[in-house]
Structure 1
Amino acid sequence: MLCWTVHLKGGPKRLFHAALAVGHRVYSFGGCGSVNKRDQIDVHVFNTVSLRWMKLPPVRNGKGASSFPPEVPSNRKGHTAALIEDIIYIWGGLVSIEVEEICNVLYAFDVNTHRWYRPKISGTAPEARYNHSACDLGKVMYIFGGVNLLTGYTNDIYKLDTTTTVWSLINTSGVPAPVSLGHSATIIGTKMFVFGGKGYRSHHNNIRVFDTETSSWLSTPSALPCLPKGRRYHSALAYNGELFIFGGDNLRLERTFSDLWKFNPQTFSWRKVEPKGKGPYWMHRMGICCVGDRVILFGGYWTPDDLYILDLSPSLKTLCKTAVIQHGLEQLGLPHDIRWELAAMTNRKQRKENSLLKRKKEKNDNGRERVPVSGAEERDEETRRTPPLKRLPSFR
């Protein structure tokens, strides 16, 4: 049983950011609502034990309050991050909206020392692009698709061998995945599974599979009985050999999705998953990481400072704590360590909301005029009205 267990507000406001997990910590790089190349990229760290955020101090070079060394990347959107051993590689992204300046410099971040540096690279590097995908297998980072200023939408694959820091364009065989931005690429075993994204005329909802051992695109079924709707800017991750897809949006349908789908590579089939608990209403342009059996989702277009945790295998203790929070139950009689954990699973704003929720329930129980516990709870899942998508020309 899958269950939404944590919802925290007041974190860093993020969208179009890059995030990944290192041990029990989640690192978030850049993003947010505006881009100024004069500002260095910000790094936020979420501790999945204490359930609290911290921001790493900026790097200065002594030439002024806003000056930073060249080995530190500037702030950006639509970039990617890949973890190989103890190094996080940041590549691509839009660094200036005004002139649509895109970056193709490779940056490296040491998670042990929190030190930035620029590896000396060689070979055939990909053209600068944004809203592409990146994934890692062994000591190799793969870059697929995205948008560049030369050819527009792309569907080529580059790889970076981090042992030699040599870039190369992969000469693939088979029918490639269509050109797209805002898709996802996820490694399962030795294969890369590409899903969704927006092309020139449509939003894709097919799965394409790239075999990293043979450098070939595999043939896949053209029609499946049950498919998610075409989408871009969704979130994806691999867990126990299966692919999970969260949310996304579709401009043509003018819809933002809050659904969760699971894809089984063995049977090549999709299944819609309905977790218990209260998750985000709309999920797109969010950061996603998996820490053990927990999925951490944060940021996004409609809830830029919210963080949610989906437990893929919740314990009875976790389910009980979730019930205490969601129903505003009394906590004074609980052990101190349990009360601490409950406090960590919420923040001050949510504790105030829970207190109001409890008073509303008590008012209802006393027979007075009924006050809805939550307007959101009374909305039917199928009749929710998706807010109109704001169109951002630089990020289509």
Structure 2
Amino acid sequence: MFYLNRQINFRMRWTVHIEGGPRRVNHAAVCIEDKIYSFGGYCSSEEYKDWDPIPVHVLDTTTLRWRPVRYRKRDIALPYQRYGHSAIAYGHKVYMWGGRNNAVACDTLSCFDTKKLKWSTPPVTGMVPYAKDGHSACIIKNKMYIFGGFEYIFDQYTQDVHCLNLDTMQWTYINTHGTPPCHRDFHTAVAYNDRMYIYGGRGDVNGPYNSDDEIYCPHVYYLDTITETWINVKANGTWPEPRRSHSAWIYNDYMYIFGGLNAKTKTHFNDVYRYSIKGNLWEQLNVQGVGPCQRRRQQCLNYKDKVYLFGGTSPCTHNNYIRMRQFDDSDDNPERLIDNSDLHVLDYSPTLKTLAILAVLEYNLDPSSLPQDIILDIRTMTLPNCISRPINQSG
């Protein structure tokens, strides 16, 4: 088994790094067929208008090109700007819930039809969760499960579970059994069979109440949605340093995590860990290639054998900080952040063709004599998008 894992780790590789996509932080995203849809978020270097329609961008995973969705005028169902919200895919529709802007938090369910490129506000019944952000959401069968988050009406973190039946549009509060994860926000949740796996997030030493004294839970929990029971798996192996605002996804029988922040140690991460669901084991992966810089509040979506990572915010490197000061010398704070517009691709099984292209790029070889399809692939893997301008400031 050790030899097999070494083989898998060796094959995984970061293969693509393209700038110029949507510059977004704390956004939500889903994958439907071969398209990735990104909703909302914020950018510190842009003026944020709370009541503008939420922006939607679509990534074609074949061409690696982003494009914005143009709304129809006078669509009364358009949701407003927000961040810290959640989105799940059910068929060809996206259901978005929660989040906040600088004025209010939201408890309204919105639906985006990816075929019609149109929003609607489905009527719901039952016990609707209080408005919150920093919660997690995942889909199991025909139900969207929501856990945790920060409720602004009570100024506290939560550990509640709600589910929405996407066929009947009825909300239900789940009165769970067992010991739940502590109150938290900006954790992750992934679905595996009938289980919802929770990792990370930010809590407070005073339990649900916010005193700005953060704590980070290192444990993996899962909710068995059949028995509605919480389980602390007490994993073996090399655990990740506790964190919040990271990303998580499922590939085969593993839960992967990337990045995040531990504000107690003032550490941003760009590491990759995986948790074996069947083996109950954490391990850190040494992924080949040039990966993303340290960051938090990005999105990671897997489609087939690839993971698409985009956005988030990072601590300024020395070069980026000098570059920004050329445009803005009003702030000498060394802990300033820079919002990212880049796209990275993590390939679990890169083809020989992909590896050959990477060698051409690494050694700066002349591609002019190569077949046209190879030249086109090189262009696809390197040509910047044009959604965002090069950065000249950050917040």
TM-score, length of structure 1 as denominator length: 0.83
- How far has the Cα of 1:347 moved from its partner? 1.8
Residue 225 of structure 1 and its aligned partner are, at CA, apart by 4.2
Partner in structure 2 of residue 226 of structure 1:
238
**Equivalent residue of 2:132, what SS?**
coil
Instruction: Report the secondary structure of 1:155's partner residue.
Output: coil
1:32 is matched with which residue? 42
Other-structure match for 1:128:
131
Alignment correspondent of 2:116: 113
Q: Name the residue aligned to 1:393.
A: none
The correspondence for 1:163, drawn from 160, 167, 182, is 167
2:67 to 54, 62, 65: 54
Q: Which residue of 2 aligns with 1:245?
A: 257
| Residue pair 1:153, 1:179 contacting (<8 A) in 2 also | yes
SS of 2:279 mapped into structure 1: coil
CA contact (8 A) 1:84 1:138 kept: no
Q: Unaligned 5+ residue runs, structure 1?
A: 62-68, 351-389, 391-396
For the 8 Å contact 2:219–2:232, the answer to whether it is kept is no
Question: Residue 371 of structure 1 aligns with which residue?
Answer: none
Q: What is the alpha-carbon distance in structure 2 between the residues aligned to residue 327 and residue 154 of structure 1?
A: 52
Q: Distance in 2 between matches of 1:37 and 1:72?
A: 13
Q: CA deviation at 1:37?
A: 2.5
> Which protein, 1 or 2, shows the higher relative CO under an 8 Å CA cutoff with sep ≥ 6?
2
Could you tell me which residue of structure 2 aligns to residue 2 of structure 1? 12
Q: Give RMSD over aligned pairs.
A: 1.7
The answer to whether the aligner puts 1:288 opposite 2:291 as a matched pair is: no
Contact 2:187–2:202 (CA<8 Å) still a contact in 1?
Answer: yes
Kindly indicate whether residue 94 of structure 2 is the aligned counterpart of residue 88 of structure 1.
Answer: yes
Instruction: Choose which of 300, 321, 325 in structure 1 pairs with 2:357.
Output: 321
**1:316-373 per-position Cα deviation (integer Å, ceiling 9, x unaligned):** 11111122223322101110011011001012599xxxxxxxxxxxxxxxxxxxxxxx
For 2:125 and 2:260, the matched residues in 1 are separated by 36
User: How many Å apart are 1:264 and its aligned residue?
Assistant: 0.4
Does 1:78 pair with 2:78? no
Question: Equivalent residue for 2:24?
Answer: 14
Secondary structure of the 2:133 match is coil
Q: Are 2:212 and 1:202 aligned? A: no
Partner of 2:225 in structure 1?
212
Superposition deviation, residue 32 in structure 1: 1.9
- Identical residues among aligned pairs (%): 36
Structure 1 pair 178–348 and aligned structure 2 pair: CA distance change class (3 A): closer
Give the CA deviation at 1:138.
Answer: 1.3
**Structure 2: distance between partners of 1:7 and 1:235:** 18
Q: CA offsets per residue over residues 172-216 of structure 1, 9 Å max, x none?
A: 000001111110000111111100001013112210111011111
CA offsets 1:266-299 (integer angstroms, 9 cap, x no match): 1211010111100112131111111110000000
Greater Rg by CA: 1
Aligned to 1:276, what secondary structure does the other structure show? coil
Q: Is the 8 A contact 1:132 1:181 kept in 2?
A: yes
Equivalent position of 1:394 in the other structure = none
User: Equivalent residues in 2 for 1:133-212 (5 A)?
Assistant: 133-151=136-154, 152-200=156-204, 201-212=214-225
Structure-1 separation of matches of 2:139 and 2:85: 15
Give the whole-Å Cα distance in 1 for the aligned partners of 2:95 and 2:381.
Answer: 31
Say if 1:183 and 1:195, in contact at 8 Å, map to a contact too: yes
Read off the aligned partner of 2:113 and give its amino acid letter.
Answer: D
Task: Name whichever of 104-113 and 196-205 sits farther off.
Answer: 196-205
Q: Which runs of 4+ in 1 moved over 3 A?
A: none
3-state secondary structure, aligned to 1:26: strand
Equivalent of 1:341 in 377, 380, 394? 377
1-structure distance, mates of 2:305, 2:347: 6
Q: Which residue does 1:64 correspond to in 2? A: none
The alpha carbon displacement at 1:219 in A equals 4.0
CA contact (8 A) 2:245 2:297 kept: yes
Change (3 A) 1:235 1:5: same
- 2: CA distance, partners of 1:329 / 1:287: 33
Structure 2: runs of 5 or more not aligned: 1-10, 205-213, 315-338, 387-394
Q: Is the 8 A contact 1:20 1:288 kept in 2?
A: no
Letter in 2 for 1:173: H
Inter-partner Cα distance in structure 1 for 2:49 and 2:76:
15
Instruction: Measure the CA separation in 2 of the matches of 1:121 and 1:349.
Output: 39
